Structure 1
Amino acid sequence: MSLQNVWHLRRVADTASKACYICYKPSTSVLITPDNKKPKDFFYVCPSHLKDRGFCSPIIDAEEDAKKKKDEELAREIEQVKQEYEEKQKRKKEKKKEKKEKKEEEDEDKESKKSEKEDDRKAEQEKNNKIEELQKKAEHKADDFPRIFTLHKNFYQMRINRIRSIDLAKRNAERMKDPALFPSVPKGDI
């Protein structure tokens, strides 16, 4: 019955929040043991305590690093899309200026105005669509917090002691139910 010192961070709904293990404030963050074996242990903790180096230490995961890199790449792509859109708008403005000069010479091009407006609308829609897609990808990241932690030895020992005391209480309750535990009444006359 050994409890590994590996804890995974999980989130619960606001309605299911319970008191923090440390400060007793309502919290939606839960540290839970990852395996399905007994003993299964969990407790609620505030996100601020997860940053405290005296309470726990994060275990850096290669998957998390890859996710962070992907998020950075998405942010770069968003910036590139924005820059490309701005460049296109500058080019269109320059073209409009040139066309205005030509229009002063020729007022017969009413259809070109409509096509320019349509092109502007299409370009803006494309930009918005690209940005929305990239932001949706970026939203999939949960938090900046690591997801796996190890408790420091004092807190870890407190969790082990809690599990041992629960097991001891269960065993004592089973013993109390056993009638052979108590002494029998004397049978003979004295």
Structure 2
Amino acid sequence: MASFPNVYTHRKVADTASKPCEICYKPSASVLVSPENKDFFYVCSGHLKDRGFCSPIIDEAAVAAKKKKEMEAEVERVRKEFEEKQKKKKEKEKEKEKSKDKDKDKDKKDEKEEEKPDEKITLLTLAQKKPEEVTATPDEEPRVFALKKSFYQQRIDKKRNADIAKRNRERLQNPNLFPQVPKSLP
């Protein structure tokens, strides 16, 4: 009998190839496929979110690697911002050295004018950071699922019944299955 593990991968098909969902019979383009394509069935994406039907199998190593990659990207971004700020400070110091020759009153006005653009830049950078965080936070839908016990047993029974029916059809096509009519007189 055909037995397969309770691991199903979620895949999408074209809308033109959609078939009825096994649960609610509405047209669906989502398919759950077992390893080595031993079993597959169409299911609505809403049923995949139902904890009574299936549960996602989360690959902890992949999640940890993804978090590590995000942290490295964040560290790199912060490092670049810090280097930019350091460059700006050096430029200001150079400008201050050049402006020492000018009157002290003019120096105070320049410093006030320089501080205001910096505040605007920091506000702009903060405003730009927030949309990036929003786009990075939505989690991708899980792709691997494990069916609940009752639904998995239904899939195994359906596959087993299909194999039995196929075997019976093959037997019926074999002419040696039935006894022959006696050809000699008794």
TM-score range, shorter chain: 0.5 to 0.7
Q: Shift of the alpha carbon at 1:4?
A: 4.0
1:45 aligns to what?
A: 43
Structure 2 gaps, min length 5: 102-135
Q: 1: CA distance between counterparts of 2:65 and 2:180?
A: 73
Q: 2: CA distance between counterparts of 1:16 and 1:70?
A: 37
* Partner SS state of residue 30, structure 1: strand
Q: Shift of the alpha carbon at 1:12?
A: 4.7
2:32 aligns to what?
A: 30
Rg larger in structure: 2
Q: 2: CA distance between counterparts of 1:17 and 1:74?
A: 37
Q: Shift of the alpha carbon at 1:6?
A: 1.5
**Is the contact made by 1:18 and 1:26 (CA closer than 8 Å) also made in structure 2?**
yes
- Percent of aligned pairs with the same residue? 41
RMSD: 3.5
Q: Shift of the alpha carbon at 1:8?
A: 3.1
Number of residue pairs matched?
147
Q: 2: CA distance between counterparts of 1:2 and 1:14?
A: 28
**CA separation of 1:17/1:70 partners in 2, compared to 1, >3 Å: closer, same or farther?**
farther
> What pairs with 1:2-17 in structure 2 (closer than 5 Å)?
3-12=3-12, 14=14
Which residue among 46, 67, 82 is the counterpart of 1:87? 82
Q: Shift of the alpha carbon at 1:66?
A: 1.7
**Amino acid across the alignment from 1:169:** A
Q: 2: CA distance between counterparts of 1:29 and 1:18?
A: 9
Q: Shift of the alpha carbon at 1:184?
A: 6.0
**1:77 corresponds to 2:72:** yes
Q: Shift of the alpha carbon at 1:2?
A: 5.2
Q: 2: CA distance between counterparts of 1:177 and 1:54?
A: 43
1:170 aligns to what?
A: 166
TM-score with structure 1 setting the length: 0.59
